[in-house]
Amino acid sequence: MDNNLKSKTYDELIELAAACGQKAFTAKYLFTFIHQKDAADIQDITPLSKAFRQKLTDDGYTISGIELLEKHDDPDGTIKFVFELADSARIEAVRLKDGKRNTLCISTQAGCRMGCKFCATGQLKFQRNLTAAEIVDQLYQVEKYCGKIHNVVYMGMGEPLDNFDNVMASVSILNDENGRNIGIRHITLSTCGLPQQIRQLSTSPLQPRLAISLHAPNDTIRKEIMRVAAKHSLHDLMTALKSYQSVTNKRITMEYCMIDTINDQVHHAKELIRLLRPLKVNVNLIELNPFAGCPYATSSNNQIRRFAQTLTDAGIETVIRFKRGQTIKAACGQLGATWLKDKE
């Protein structure tokens, strides 16, 4: 049981208050003080009676946070934050600057089970899922240095849908009007493609944006570069996405890492077009970001543009995401790369 009050949604705090014989409004005090005013101790929530505060403490409830260990700045404005958790596990989060707006890429697991070959995090040993408190606290800590975060992308370390319950609790917390009140359209979940969880997401009362780490137009290539493809075929994934879209009618973002000669040829683009035709999608082409031991090379800029033009000519909205934060190992696929190098 997670006794950190920061992990609990507003509805869960209402249930907790009722179980303690308190009125529902006490839950609002708890939630707003924790998620709006960054209360770090139950005793700091002074609108609550001393008796109730003491009962929460006696029952083992806490308000604990993660510790900032390092902060790295890239010349392009990207900032990487390294956090340590209570059990000494470490995670990273990345702030991206877009004009006056801040986007935060947050982690959902310490390590990752998925093992994608082009991703440094996938080469690290999986340690555990993060709690909802550890997920949202990344944002709270970063805001102390960068100001308000406008967009949240669950694209950091770990597979978000492999930690479904804690991730969705964190989405609820960040979206709640009594907390940070981040609009649900400004929250994106990225997954390598877990069909069952995608279907589960389609029936969730909260509907963040969905992004799929696709990276290949066929099963042969996908199995070579992504371990998850051995368990879930593209047919299974596309069937789940069609079901998701039939329920939500939401556009899906397809993320596609450009790997030299492996998946970046024009015939690959044409195969990708045929695969995506049944769906309402847009495509983000991402430059491969190298790390120690990565077996692949980055596609040339000309090849990436040729690939993008092929998709665009077919009517698929396509954006090229060029490297950001690479000098501090904060670009896509590089989180945890420093630890991997140390390990080697």
Render 164-215 in DSSP notation, one character per residue: HHHHHHHHHHHH-TTTT---GGGEEEEES--HHHHHHHHTSSS--EEEEE--
**pLDDT above 70: residue 344:** no
pLDDT at 342 > cutoff 80? no
Over residues 215-224, the mean pLDDT reads 98
92 catalytic per annotation: yes
pLDDT exceeds cutoff 70 at 174:
yes
Which region among 147-156, 185-194, 332-341 has the lowest average model confidence (pLDDT)? 332-341
pLDDT the model gives residue 272: 98
Q: Report CA 115 to chain centroid distance, whole Å.
A: 16
Pairing of strands 79-84, 90-98: antiparallel
Q: For this structure, is 192 an active site residue?
A: no
CATH number, span 74-343: 3.20.20.70
Is the pLDDT score of 72 beyond 80?
yes
Catalytic choice (105, 116, 257, 332): 332
- The pTM for the full model equals 0.96
The sign of the dihedral angle between the CA atoms of 49, 52, 56, 58 is positive
Q: Residue 24: exposed, middle, or buried by beta-carbon count in 10 A (0-12, 13-18, 19+)?
A: exposed
pLDDT, mean over the chain: 95
| Average pLDDT of span 1-22 | 94
Q: Select from 97, 71, 102 the least CA-distant residue to 84.
A: 71
Token pair of 272, please?
């990708």
Q: Which position has the higher pLDDT, 104 or 123?
A: 104
- How far apart (Å, rounded) are the C-alpha atoms in residues 255 and 192? 9
Of 80-84, 229-233, 318-322, the poorest mean pLDDT is in: 318-322
**Residue 343: per-residue pLDDT:** 47
Q: Are strands 252-258 and 209-213 parallel, antiparallel or unpaired?
A: parallel
pLDDT computed for residue 99 by the predictor: 86
Per DSSP bridges, beta strands 109-110 and 128-129 are: antiparallel
The CATH classification of domain 5-58, taken from the options 3.30.70.141, 3.30.565.10, 2.60.120.700, 1.10.150.530: 1.10.150.530
- Map out the domains of the chain as residue ranges: 5-58, 74-343
pLDDT at 14: 97
How far is it, in rounded angstroms, from Cα 31 to Cα 50? 17
Identify the residue whose tokens are 């600057």. 97
Cβ count within 10 A of residue 305: 13
Catalytic residue among 84, 92, 146, 255: 92
- pLDDT at residue 142 tops 60: yes
| Distance in angstroms (rounded) separating the CA atoms of residues 29 and 62 | 15
Rounded to whole angstroms, the Cα distance separating 216 from 211 reads: 14
Distance CA 263, CA 299 (A): 9
Q: CA–CA separation, 173 vs 126, rounded Å?
A: 25
Question: Does 317 have pLDDT greater than 50?
Answer: yes
Task: Categorize the per-residue pLDDT at 31 as very low, low, confident or very high, splitting at 50, 70 and 90.
Answer: very high
